[in-house]
Amino acid sequence: MPPKKRNSGTTPNKELKPSVKSASPDKKESPELSVKKHREKDAKFVTLCKSLHVTDPVCDHAWMLWKTVQDSMDEAADSQRRLWGACLYVAVTELDAACFTLTQVQKAVDLNVKQFLALVRKMDVNLDTISTRVDSVLTRLEKKYDVTLALYQRFDKTCKQIFALDSDGKEVETIRSCWTMFLLAKGKALQMEDDLVISFQLLLCVLELFIKRCPPDLLQPLYQSAISKAQSPPTRTSRRNQSKAKPRPPEPELDMQLLETLCKENECNLDEVKDVYQNSFSAFLNSVDLSRAPDFLQVNDFSKQYEEHYLKSRDFDGRLFLDGDETLLAPKLEIMQVERTPKKNLPEEDPVLIPPQTPVKAAMDSIQQLRVDLTSSSDQPSANLATYFKNCTVDPTVEVLKRVETLGQVFGQRFAQAVGPHCMVLGRQRFTLGTRMYYRVMESMLKSEEKRLSVQNFSKLLNDSTFHTSLLACALEVIMATYGGSCFKTGAYSHGGGGDQAETDLSFPWILDVFKLAAFDFYKVIESFIKAEPTLSKDIVKHLESCEHLIMKSIAWRTGSPLFELLRQMHEEGPAEQVEAPAAFNQPLQHNHTAADLYLSPMRPGHRILPPESSATPNSQPACQAPTQPAPQGAGQTPRHSRSNSLSLFYKKLYRLAYMRLKVLCSYLLSTRPHEELEPIMWTLFQHTLQHEYELMRDRHLDQLMMSAMYAICKVKNVDLRFKTIVTAYKNMPNTNQETFKHVLISEGHYDSIIVFYNQVFMQKLKTNILQYASTRPPTLSPIPQIPRSPYKFPSSPLRVPGSNNVYISPLKSPRMSPGIMTPRSRMLVSIGESFGLSNRFQKINQMVNSSDRSLKRSLDLGSTPKPLKRLRFDVDGQDEADGSKTSGDSTLIQKLAEMNSTRSRMQEQKMKEDAESRKE
């Protein structure tokens, strides 16, 4: 622990010096820098090291890094000091030396957080310049900074609504005390300081405490009236000294009226904030012993305690937000973009472009919408679902309820371990929401299967434990992703390397580890889940699709995955068996598989025997029931083995994902080279590896094979493309992680860079096949997969009205959802059943529908005169003239429709006449 005696007013560098002795990982090493040992180094570099109180090993390591990158970094001489600071930060991170904090080195080199982190990442000019440990620290630090910045901006805005200006400036001291206490509470009560939602809920708890302890004259009227009379703070503090002789009364209980006001003003769920207060925040209050604190808390009460936490964490000093310190504040343009909040339009105002939402508001809106969607759902099986259970040959009700209870206990414990020891109640709340969605989606799936198969007995599916666990895990992943927010997704699902995720990371695939669920089994339910739950937002659908991609790229290929057993069994059937015929690549991918098809498909190909003319689709054999006897064989017919639906669909999607990523990487690197010739060859080698050498994917990543295939073909085709160039381009691709090329499995327990993997593993395994591409008779090229659009449609997206260019309709998901959230960029919003305003707005709608003019001004102003245009406009009906003049009458489209209707009417009349004449004859 850092020493208790600290002076909060001293500079950070002076504060840190005594802490090095107690926190240095090497106690035998002197914390003082020996100048004599570093005479060969630049004197200014040594001076910087002394100012940051680094040790000799850190100084040597940082200098070695500097010598490595100085020739590759294109930096001016005046930024040399900044590069030294970045090297020192990398050195203390890799050596785990407690020499200085991030804020201290920032001040030494005069950079803000974003600039400094970007500089450190820029240093990675070679594959091994920065370790995966440093990458992980930078990612976590950046996310923590983004969350803290968003919280402070919301805190600053909220305080202006709570506290009144005081001539003595007392509100400033109150705000400083409140923010410092929040930083301390976040650091002590939460293990995940980068969790936006729980941190914001904790911030409201801190505000509740300060408001009820604050003198009424420092509060705005809304919060003066919000405080319960029984909780009103004392107006006098003259008896403060009496607390030394007489113990202070117990801390007043939570003021529910005040907390309800705070939650309402900040659009936060009251029950969740109450649970955070009663569990995590109350435990924190007991730990800091507020019984000795005065009625009005001072900043010094928490500053020293927070300083110890800050020095121990060695990141940024959150107190500097209060001072507007340049090391913490983002560029002004970025702050303005974040601080702007959507404004509601007045009834008679013309709609305006609404700026992006703040991270906190976006998270609160997503959670509110999720809870609204699940309001009508129960955490117990519905009557319809219970009927499905009873119709089964073996009633699964008892096992389903028992499984949910068991997994709920496991989830709550692991959630508390990750977030904080007092957060088990929050975990149970989220599990309850997940259970509601689990039962609702299950019922929707069964209804679809009943309609598709015309059966009601789903005994085999509903007694499949893996199906239920996967469905529940998918529901919980939706809940966790919603609470995790879509604003800070750094590293959320890019863990594709060989390293393990930290326990405090709740992002996917954390839920798989909690339930001990195989990723290959989880993937089977994703597509059916999305189709069965139409209320999922676009962000959540994209998140689940990203989870599916992550499974196909790496997680499903981990040792112990059932995928390898399926592949082994398939190859045992003989060389004629193929998991997916290459000839089918250029055919559209059919997304008509259901969860029942995938979970009930044979685990071992060949166990079910089907007649040659029969179909393996569920239409001929219901997916709910397994065949009890082999189908009879006709004379002279040979038995045909059914193929695993789950494996076949997995490889169909895998091939298309693999080619899509290869195509993107080729577009980065081969735009000026014979791109059209090399890409199909690279794909052929890539596809051959996935199909015939799938063991190379074990505990590895799809992109590792992709880059190796690209490099191999370039070598045999004499194309000068270095691995360093490939990796540099790869880092710019979406959903990538540096562990993918820095931490590659070479042999059991041994990892190295992707270059070592290529030379020692990939090339050795595929050398014969690779050299064939240099011969005069190369292998036949594999067909190019047809890349379809995402199979996951968004039913809530606005749809264009046929025959109109500027009118869209969108289903109303919830009556509580504000129109501004649904269509923030609409020209005019109409909500059926609500007050719409004056009648002239209906005339404007008619004008929008009938008019072909797409200009907002002209569509809303009936009397305006068209302005001349400088260029032709062929995209609007009736405006083909250079001056923008319109043809008289209706638009061309309407005229054509009228002509078509008239022609059709004449044809019908003519046919009726001919029929009448034929009957007469």
Closest listed residue to residue 372, CA positions, set 867, 776, 812: 812
Q: Is the pTM of this model over 0.85?
A: no
CA distance 883 to 878: 12
Q: What per-residue confidence (pLDDT) applies to 454?
A: 87
Token readout for 717 is 């085709």
> In the structure encoding, which two tokens stand for residue 160, read together?
């202006």
What is each CA distance from 377 to 371, 380, 443, 472, 807, in whole angstroms?
10, 9, 11, 15, 34
Closest CA to 332 of 107, 86, 112: 112
pLDDT attached to residue 42:
87
Give the model's pLDDT for residue 593.
65
Q: What does the pLDDT look like over 676-711, one tens digit per residue?
A: 688 999 999 999 999 999 999 999 999 999 999 999
Distance from C-alpha of 214 to C-alpha of 237, rounded to nearest angstrom: 11
d(CA 217, CA 197): 31
What is the reported pLDDT for 886? Answer: 42
Biggest distance spanned by C-alpha atoms of the chain: 122
Q: Is the pLDDT of residue 179 over 90?
A: yes
User: What's the average model confidence in pLDDT over 62-79?
Assistant: 75
How far, in Å, CA of 492 to CA of 508, rounded?
A: 7
Instruction: Write down the residue that tokens 């989220």 correspond to.
Output: 430
Q: Round to whole Å and give the CA distance between 189 and 178.
A: 16
Q: Can you say how many angstroms the Cα of residue 892 is from the centroid of all Cα atoms in its chain?
A: 46
Q: Helix (H, G, I), strand (E, B), or coil: what is residue 640? A: strand
Backbone angles phi, psi at 739, to 5 degrees: -60, -25
Give the pLDDT score at 18: 36
Q: Which band of pLDDT confidence, cut at 50, 70 and 90, is reported for residue 598?
A: confident
Structure tokens given for 804:
């109109």
DSSP one-letter code for 498? S
Both tokens of residue 646?
Answer: 């789950």
Q: How far is CA 712 from the centre of its chain?
A: 34
Amino acid occupying residue 119: L
CB atoms within 10 A of CB 657: 17
- For residue 679, CA distances in Å to 127, 650, 726 come to 25, 23, 14
The b/e string for 234-260 (b: 16+ C-beta within 10 A; e otherwise) is eeeeeeeeeeeeeeeeeeeebbeebbe
CA end-to-end distance (rounded Å), the chain: 110
Per-residue pLDDT of 28-45, as tens digits, reads: 444 677 777 888 888 899
Nearest to 127 by CA among 701, 700, 730: 730
Q: How far apart, in whole angstroms, are the C-alpha atoms of residue 257 and residue 627?
A: 62
Burial class (CB within 10 angstroms; exposed 0-12, middle 13-18, buried 19+) of 596: buried
pLDDT digits (tens, 9 = 90+) for 614-665: 333 333 334 444 333 333 333 334 344 455 678 888 999 999 999 999 999 9
Residue 505, pLDDT score: 76
The yes-or-no verdict on residue 389 having pLDDT over 90 is: yes
pLDDT bin (cut points 50, 70, 90) of residue 905 is: low
User: Could you please report the per-residue DSSP string of 433-480?
Assistant: HHHHHHHHHHHHHHHHHHHHH-----HHHHT-HHHHHHHHHHHHHHHH
pLDDT, residue 493, reads 36
Of the listed ranges 213-217, 496-500, 724-728, 734-738, the one predicted with least confidence: 496-500
What the block records as the tokens of 690 is 């996935």
Q: H or E segment at 682?
A: helix 675-692
| Contact (CB, 8 A) for 507 and 493 | yes
* Mean pLDDT, residues 894-906: 58
CA separation, residue 846 to residues 257, 797, 805, 841, 842 (Å) = 48, 23, 13, 9, 6
* Cα 432–Cα 438–Cα 444 angle in degrees, nearest 5: 140
Strands 750-752 and 609-610: unpaired
Q: What are phi and psi of 751, to 5 degrees?
A: -125, 150
> How many CB atoms neighbour CB 844 within 10 A?
17
Q: What integer pLDDT is reported at residue 629 of this predicted model?
A: 35
Go through the chain and tell me how many residues it has: 921
Nearby residues of 839 by Cβ (< 8 Å), 6 or more positions away: none
pLDDT surpasses 60 at 760: yes
Return d(Cα 452, Cα 622) in angstroms, integer.
10
Least confidently predicted of 2-16, 380-394, 584-598: 2-16
> Of 402, 538, 568, 388, nearest to 478 (Cα)?
538
**What's the pLDDT band for 778 if we cut at 50, 70, 90?**
confident
What does each C-alpha distance from 156 to 174, 180, 225, 550, 776 come to in angstroms? Answer: 12, 13, 21, 38, 71
CA distances for 823 relative to 259, 353, 372, 612, 810, angstroms: 31, 10, 18, 54, 9
- Concatenating the DSSP letter of every residue in 722-758 gives -HHHHHHHHTTSSS--THHHHSEEEETTEEE-HHHHI
Cα 315 to Cα 142: distance, rounded to the nearest angstrom: 10
> pLDDT at residue 610 above 80?
no
CA distance 14 to 104: 11
Condensed to tens digits (0 to 9), the pLDDT of residues 198-223 reads 999 999 999 999 898 888 888 888 88
pLDDT for the residue 171: 83
* Residue 916, token pair as written in the block: 């009448």
The pLDDT value recorded for residue 657 is 94
Distances 723 to 126, 255, 598, 704, 898 between C-alpha atoms, Å: 10, 62, 39, 12, 63
Over pLDDT 70: what percentage of the chain?
64
395 pLDDT above the threshold of 90 = yes
By C-alpha distance, which of 458, 199, 157 is closest to 318? 199
Percent of the chain with pLDDT over 90: 40
641's tokens: 């083995």
Average pLDDT over the chain, rounded to an integer: 75
User: What is the rounded distance in angstroms from the CA atom of residue 322 to the CA atom of residue 842?
Assistant: 50
